[in-house]
Amino acid sequence: MGLAAGDMIRDLVYGALVVFSILVTIQSAHTLYLTLYIWAKPTSEAIAPEQFRPPRVSFTVMVPARHEESVIQATIGRVCEANYPQELIQVLVVCSADDKGTIAKVNEKISALRKAGLENVSVVTFEDGPVNKPHGLNVGLRYAVNEVVTIFDAEDDVHLDIFNVVNTVMQDEDVRVVQAGVQLMNFDSTWYSALNVLEYFFWFKSRLHYHARTGAIPLGGNTVFFDRGLVTRIGGWDEHNLTEDADIGLRLSAAGERIRVVYDDRYVTKEETPPTVSAFIRQRTRWSQGFMQTLKKGTWKDLPTRKQRWLAFYTLAFPRGQAVLGIYVVISLLTMFSLKTPEQVALITFLPVLMILAFFLIYVIGLQEFTRAHGLQASPGSVLRLALGWLPYQLMLSYAALRAVARESRGATDWEKTQHVGAHREHDPGALLEASDETAA
C-alpha cells in the first residue's frame, strides 16, 4: 500500500516535470519566434522611409525630468539641433517644482537658446502629485499646442532626423501613433550591459512589430508619437501605473487605433543601460510591477479579438512567469544533482536547456547585427561576457520580478527612479549650443 502510494507520488512528480518542461519549451519557442519575428518579414516593413516628405506635421516634445541635472541640457540641445523647422517643434521640459537643480539647468539652457534665437523651449512645473512620469506627461499635455505630442526621456540621444521620419510615416500611412526605435548603446560597460542592450534590440526591432500587427502593443516610454487630440480624448496617461507607456498602448489598441512601429538602426533614440546592478533591478522591478498593475487593471480585456487579448495577457503576465522561472531554475539546478529520473523524463526536462542555448546563439548573432548596424566592434570578450553573464542575468530578472510581486502584494507603488550618467553618449549632443552658452558667458 505504502509502496503503491510512493509510486504514485513519484509518477506525479515525473508527470509534473514533463508537463512543466514541455510548457516552458513551448513558451520559449513562442518567445523565440517573437524575438525573430521581423527577420521573417520583408525589410521594408520595418525600416524608415528612404525619402522624407517636406515638413508639415508640428510636434510638441515633452521631456519629463527629475534630478537630471547632468544630462538635461544636452538632451534639449539635441532636440533643438534636429533637422526639422524649429517653428514646428515645441519643447516642454516637465519638472516637479521641488526639483530646483534640474529647473535651474533647464532655465540656463533656455536662456542660452534664446540668445541663439530659439524661443521654442520652455519649462513646465507642477506642485501637485504624484511626482512621477505619467503625471508630468499629463501636465505637459495641457501646455502642448502642436498636432503631435512625443516623449523623450531626459537622457535620450535623439536622432536629428527623427521628426522627418515620423512626419513622412504619418503622412504616407495615415497613422496617428508611431513608435520609433529606442536602443541602449553601451554594450561593453558592465557584465550585463550587452544582455540589456540586446533585450532592447530584439524588443524594439522585432517583437513590437508583432504586437503592432496583432493590435495589442505595450508602447515604449519614449520616442513614441501621438496625435494630440487622440491622446487627450483617451484621457492621457494613467498616473497610478508604473508602466504608463504599456498601459496607454493597450488602451489605444483597445480603441482600435492602428499603431506603426518604425525601427531603423539609423534613426534610433540612443539610451544607456542602468549603471549599477541595483539600478537595473530597481528599473526592472518597476517595469514588472507596472505590467502587473496593467494586468490587474484589465484594459486588455477590452481588446476586440481573442488573439489580441491572449497576447496582451501573455505579455503582461510574463513578469509573474519570470518569477516562477527563477524559482524553477534554482530547483532545476538542485534536482540535477539530487533527483534520479527515468531517461525519457530526463531527456524531456532537458528541452528548456536547448531553448536557452538557442536564445544564447540568437543573442550572439544579435550582438553582431547590433554592432555592425552602429559601426561598433564586438570583441570575443563581449561574447564571453554574454555567455558568462547569461544565467546571472536571468536570475537578476527573476529576482526583480519576485521583488515586483512582493512590492505589489504589500501595495508599494512609489516610483523607483533610474539613475542616468550618459554612458551612451560618445559625443556631446548639443555641443554647438553649449558653445553658444560659453560664448554668452
The residue from 368, 384, 387, 406 that contacts another protein (CB under 8 A) is 368
Judged by CB under 8 A, which stretch of 35-43, 316-324, 325-333, 420-428 contacts another protein? 35-43
Q: What are the grid coordinates assigned to 357, written together?
A: 542555448
Residues in the chain: 441
Give the x-and-dash track for 307-346 against another protein (CB under 8 A).
Answer: ------------------------------------x--x
The residue from 369, 416, 428, 434 that contacts another protein (CB under 8 A) is 369
The residue from 8, 357, 384, 412 that contacts another protein (CB under 8 A) is 357
Contact 150, 61 (CB under 8 A): yes
Judged by CB under 8 A, which stretch of 66-74, 114-122, 251-259, 355-363 contacts another protein? 355-363
Shortest distance, CB of residue 189 to another protein, whole angstroms?
Answer: 25
The residue from 279, 356, 362, 376 that contacts another protein (CB under 8 A) is 362
What is residue 157's DSSP assignment?
A: B
The residue from 6, 350, 388, 440 that contacts another protein (CB under 8 A) is 350
Verify binding: residue 365, another protein, rule CB under 8 A.
Answer: yes
Place of cell 516637479: 96
Shortest distance, CB of residue 33 to another protein, whole angstroms?
Answer: 8
Judged by CB under 8 A, which stretch of 119-127, 141-149, 362-370, 428-436 contacts another protein? 362-370
57 vs 165: CA distance, rounded Å: 11
Shortest distance, CB of residue 217 to another protein, whole angstroms?
Answer: 21
346 vs 339: CA distance, rounded Å: 10
Please report, as residue ranges, which positions from 43 to 72 form the binding site for another protein (by CB under 8 A). Answer: 43
Give the x-and-dash track for 245-284 against another protein (CB under 8 A).
Answer: ----------------------------------------
Strand ranges in 19-98 using DSSP code E only, listed in sequence order: 59-64, 89-96
Place of cell 516610454: 221
Please spell the DSSP secondary structure of 264-300, one letter per residue: -GGGPEEE---SSHHHHHHHHHHHHHHHHHHHHHTGG
Kindly compute the dihedral angle of the four CA atoms of residues 133, 135, 137, 143, in this order, to the nearest 10 degrees. Answer: -150
Place of cell 521620419: 165
Q: Smallest Cα–Cα separation from 55: which of 99, 80, 103, 88?
A: 88
Shortest distance, CB of residue 43 to another protein, whole angstroms?
Answer: 6
Contact 234, 252 (CB under 8 A): yes
425 vs 102: CA distance, rounded Å: 19
Which positions lie near another protein, rule CB under 8 A? Answer: 36, 39-40, 43, 343, 346-347, 350, 354, 357-358, 361-362, 364-365, 368-369
